[in-house]
Amino acid sequence: DAGVTQSPTHLIKTRGQHVTLRCSPISGHKSVSWYQQVLGQGPQFIFQYYEKEERGRGNFPDRFSARQFPNYSSELNVNALLLGDSALYLCASSWEGNSNQPQHFGDGTRLSIL
Amino acid sequence: KNEVEQSPQNLTAQEGEFITINCSYSVGISALHWLQQHPGGGIVSLFMLSSGKKKHGRLIATINIQEKHSSLHITASHPRDSAVYICAASQETSGSRLTFGEGTQLTVNP
């Protein structure tokens, strides 16, 4: 079975643009979480979706939004990009949305803002 | 103070050495995760534990719930173990959300 897949792998944008990042969870997994990892730091939680509903949101501005589709894939959207949005964006999936599930991570999308 | 803290931040070892990475947390957890991140960025889950000890090959993870402390041990370290090791906490009231430590950069020299 395929693992968690994220696209694109790398992306270069300029300030003010918007970006859409995509994540396909492991088949059967209903929960998807998004994280932002700035160079040299641990990942920071952005969103969790479970069964197409938002289950949690981290301390990120409204420029960040996400959604989950009926097939459980997910998109992360970021508007009005800032230089500080340059980071590795990670997606993780699990069977259910509770706290006792192993998390499976994708390889991430590396976003660079010029 | 971060909710999850790791030490050391950087660790250099010689091949064959026994390695310990420590993780302390200040929140109530339902599980503590140990993860490995290679330079390309992808993260691999090593352990998820809520009590006691788990072992997989040369890796051992322990947790002391009363002291809110966990350790990751690597026996007979090898250069291919070089990576960033991250501990992360999941809390019962936060769904599958993980709160991460800053990570420990491990370099094992031949």
Report CA-CA distances (Å) from B47 to A27, A71, A110, B14, B31. 21, 28, 26, 24, 10
* Average per-residue pLDDT for chain A: 94
Which pLDDT tens digit goes with each residue over B12-32? 999 999 999 999 998 888 899
Are A99 and B44 in contact (CB < 8 Å)?
no
Are A103 and B100 in contact (CB < 8 Å)?
no
Is residue A101 less than 8 Å (CB to CB) from chain B?
A: yes
Are B96 and A99 in contact (CB < 8 Å)?
yes
Calculate how close chain A gets to B43, using CA atoms only, in Å: 6
Query: Rounded CA gap, A56 and B94, in Å?
Result: 7
Q: What is the pLDDT of residue A8?
A: 97
pLDDT bucket at B62, cuts 50 / 70 / 90: very high
pLDDT bucket at A1, cuts 50 / 70 / 90: low
Residues 6+ apart with CB under 8 A from B40: A107
Best of B30, B33, B43 to mutate (most A CBs within 10 Å, chain A):
B43
Contact B90, B98 (CB under 8 A): yes
Is residue B7 less than 8 Å (CB to CB) from chain A?
A: no
pLDDT bucket at B104, cuts 50 / 70 / 90: very high
Contact A111, A19 (CB under 8 A): yes
Which pLDDT tens digit goes with each residue over A11-53? 999 999 999 999 999 999 999 999 999 998 999 999 999 999 9
* Average per-residue pLDDT for chain B: 93
Which pLDDT tens digit goes with each residue over B72-92? 999 999 999 999 999 999 987
Q: What is the pLDDT of residue B59?
A: 98
Q: What are phi and psi of B29, to 5 degrees?
A: -120, 155
Output the 3-class SS for A71-82. CCCEEEEECCCC
Read off the amino acid at residue B18. F
Q: What is the DSSP string of B64-107?
A: ETTTTEEEEEESS--GGG-EEEEEEEE-GGGTT-EEE---EEEE
Percent of chain A with pLDDT over 70: 98
Residues 6+ apart with CB under 8 A from A71: none
Q: Give the number of A-B residue pairs with CB atoms closer than 8 Å.
A: 86
Which pLDDT tens digit goes with each residue over B35-57? 999 888 889 999 999 999 999 99
